[in-house]
Chain A
Amino acid sequence: MTLALAASRADTSPLTTGHLPPGNLPPDNLPTSDLQRTTTMTTAILNPPVPSTPALPHTGRSRSTAIRAFLTITLTEGKVWLRDPTSAIMALSFPVAMMLLMTSMVDGVEAHHMLVPSLAFAIAMPTVTLLPATFGLLRERQILRRFQATPMRPSALLGAHFIIAFTSVMVAGGGAIVAGDLAFGLQTPSSIATMVLGFCAGLMAMLCLGTLIAAVVPRATTGTGVGMGAFFVSIILAGAMVPLTGVLHTIGSHTPLGAAAEVMTAGMNGYPMPVTSLIALAVWTVVLAPIAVKIFRWS
């Protein structure tokens, strides 16, 4: 009976049921475990309440709530992202335009020459420019502060935008490949597996770099500025605009995007797997992701 009473109190919260009681309710200070409920109710019956702050043990939220929250946030933020035409157009159309324009306008350039640069652009745009700008805006408008006042952890929000950026990169990269193939008959890479490995590992490393910037930028303009800086440095060091040689090439092949370009180029042309570039990608990913979560600022 005691437990039934406790359960009924929990289930009849006015905001949950939509029923407004006529007057004020006493505080719902009942603990959550059965044993504690029984003890508390018995104590409450035998001893009248004394003026002291009641204990109300809560444990945050359940795993199923965390999963539901993550999915809902990802879906909602994804819809909001798609409603911003600038973000969507920049992320999704730029690599396709690059593939089509450069191949058709520059003498001697064929579609397979433009595949790795297009994929590098597809990776870089959503990860290090749009992700930091988005979080800068969320922080500037105090939307992150609202989230801070919920049981949600920063990793859930970062993860949601991680997935949005991941999806947009996949769509943009796929679009560049399809456009190149339909327009010019794209040459099949020598090793598709190596290409996919380089693309995915590069995407993860660049997502972690973007997330690191997103974790701290205070405003949208700062996020855009820092992100664009990271974007151009990454693109240049990856050799996606101008081929690099010597020391710059060595440095570039160890940056997140440069290492990814190195692996994808090997896959495209049938070169030996650049192991040091793969290791560099793994190190960037493993190091940057926890730092981003650790230094994340709500406001």
Chain B
Amino acid sequence: MSALTAPIHTTPVVTVRNLTKSYGTKEVLRGIDCDIYAGEIFGILGPSGAGKSTTVECLAGLRTQDSGEIRVLGLNPVTDGKALPTILGIQFQDANLPDSITVLEVLTMFASCYDTPADVEYLISMLGLEEKRKAPFGSLSGGQKQRVSIALALVGNPRVVILDELTTGLDPVTRRQTWELVKNVRDSGVTVILVSHLMDEVEYLADRLVILDQGVIQATGSPAELIAATDGASNLEDVFFARTSALDHRCLVGNAK
């Protein structure tokens, strides 16, 4: 793991120490350490099966780690499960809701679960869903469904939000619009943890990132720092292939063809 960054922020809102997790005999996380600072977009980049989703599920208290320690604004996801959702929102990879529920209904319903929810009408406006507020979820486009998904992650007025594979499957225009939304979320004071396997997305959005491969952090830093510190790298994709086993797999596939 490279210690490349001297963080400009001083207060970590999330700390992870020596996090391990196995499913049966398969070790998915093998000692993850990282700090995430207030008001940044923190990327978790890695190939499929690297342990990205497991990491954030442990952060959100949806899975229990085998060992290691996590704190989210001082809360332990294992023991503070009731309090954690009031400060941490999560957007799930597989967005789906009943087809007949409307945008306004679903946001109002989820907002009702919180003591101090976000302003639903403001969220709808912020995410450009004004014209779809009474539209059934089943009638929305892929990009609009992702916006609803982001809105659901923000509706509890969280301090930290996890966005998991946010733009997978979206067209280029919608992806770019969604990226701007993520920046707006960050600019509104929310710390964003962005989980992705899309290099250009992380390079564009993340203030800092970790590259995760086979359950181990291979590199940490800002995109520019990582590119500068990797021989011959001109973008994050070069860094990614230099520091992970993904290229080996791809070459094998290419040779086989």
Contact = CB atoms under 8 A, between A and B. Distances in A.
Contact of A145 (B14, B62, B112, B191): B62
Given A13-B116, A76-B109, A146 B83 contact: no
Contacts of B108: 72, 76
A152 B121 CA distance: 22
Contacts, number: 165
B5 interface: no
Contacts of B184: 20
A24 B192 CA distance: 12
- Name which of B89, B90, B112 has the most chain A CB atoms within 10 A of its CB: B112
B39 A25 contact: yes
Interface of A: 10, 13-18, 20-29, 49, 51-62, 65, 68-69, 71-73, 76-77, 79-80, 83-84, 137, 141-143, 145-152
Contacts of B80: 58
B123 A15 contact: yes
B157 interface: yes
B112 A20 contact: no
Contact of B109 (A49, A53, A72, A84): A72
Given A20-B188, A53-B15, A150 B113 contact: yes
Contacts of A79: 105
Contact of B187 (A24, A53, A65, A148): A24
B86 A60 contact: yes
Given A27-B38, A79-B105, A80-B101, 9 more contacts: A14-B189, A22-B187, A49-B10, A56-B87, A60-B83, A60-B86, A73-B112, A141-B98, A150-B110
- Name which of A14, A52, A59, A62 has the most chain B CB atoms within 10 A of its CB: A14
B11 interface: yes
Nearest to A71: B112
Contact of B119 (A10, A16, A55): A16
A25 B96 contact: no
13 contacts: A15-B154, A17-B122, A21-B189, A24-B40, A24-B186, A24-B189, A26-B11, A28-B159, A53-B15, A56-B75, A57-B74, A61-B115, A146-B92
Nearest to A138: B98
- 8 nearest A-B pairs in the assembled complex, by CB-CB distance: A25-B189, A24-B39, A15-B118, A55-B74, A58-B83, A18-B122, A72-B112, A60-B82
A148 B14 CA distance: 20
B195 to A, nearest CB: 14
Given A15-B154, A53-B71, A145-B92, A68 B112 contact: yes
B89 A21 contact: no
Contacts of B62: 145, 148-149
